Amino acid sequence: MPLWIIYHPPSAFTSPETKRSLANEITKIYTGVGLPPFYVNVFFRPMEPADCFVGGEERPSSEKPSFIRLTMEHIARTFPNKEAADKFMGRVDEVLKPYIADQGFDWEYSILETSRDLWKVNGLVPPMTGTKAEQMWFKENKPLEFEKADGGLA
């Protein structure tokens, strides 16, 4: 499951429409490679300038623009190699550019890949990649009970 947490100043992402638009663009990154849409979580966390320090300096400051920090956790899939990771990060850069870079913010992100073995959805161990059960989860856009064999868990 991709989990994105976007730490941002109150001057960014000021409308529900902007948040929804970015969340939809982020979701498309993952549904384009077969993840069910409901796997994608995007949380916006506004932070007051006095709560954000970069290099010991409050951001924004009189000399520097506001700063946005994004963290991503990947559980459902991990990158098979550096080329795949680079391609993904290029796509992330494309999606974020109009919302962050083009708005004049400084920004940074990182991706953490964690063990799939420590993940459940509604108490269910998610089906394995490309299985009949995962395809059902994608189609229905929600977690559903499934036979272990259909989820590649037998």
pLDDT, tens digit, 9 for 90 and up, residues 45-90: 999 988 999 999 888 887 788 999 999 999 988 999 999 999 999 9
User: Are 17 and 65 in a shared domain?
Assistant: yes
Structure tokens at 64: 């520097």
| H/E element, 19 | helix 16-31
User: Are 114 and 152 in a shared domain?
Assistant: no
Cα 65 to Cα 33, 94, 100, distances in angstroms: 35, 21, 11
Confidence of residue 23 (pLDDT cuts 50, 70, 90): very high
User: Are 82 and 146 in a shared domain?
Assistant: no
Count: domains in the chain:
2
User: Are 53 and 14 in a shared domain?
Assistant: yes
User: Are 142 and 96 in a shared domain?
Assistant: no
pTM over 0.85: yes
The per-residue pLDDT for 63 is 79
Give the separation between CA 145 and CA 137, rounded to whole angstroms. Answer: 9
User: Are 77 and 128 in a shared domain?
Assistant: no
Question: In CATH, what number is assigned to the domain containing residue 113?
Answer: 3.30.429.10
User: Are 79 and 131 in a shared domain?
Assistant: no
The per-residue pLDDT for 60 is 84
Domain that holds residue 136: 120-154
Confidence of residue 93 (pLDDT cuts 50, 70, 90): very high
User: Are 60 and 82 in a shared domain?
Assistant: yes
Give the separation between CA 13 and CA 4, rounded to whole angstroms. Answer: 15
**6-10, 13-17, 76-80, 98-102: lowest mean pLDDT where?**
76-80
Sheet bearing 106-113, strands edge to edge: 41-46, 3-8, 67-74, 106-113
User: Are 124 and 94 in a shared domain?
Assistant: no
**Phi/psi at 3 (5° precision):** -120, 120
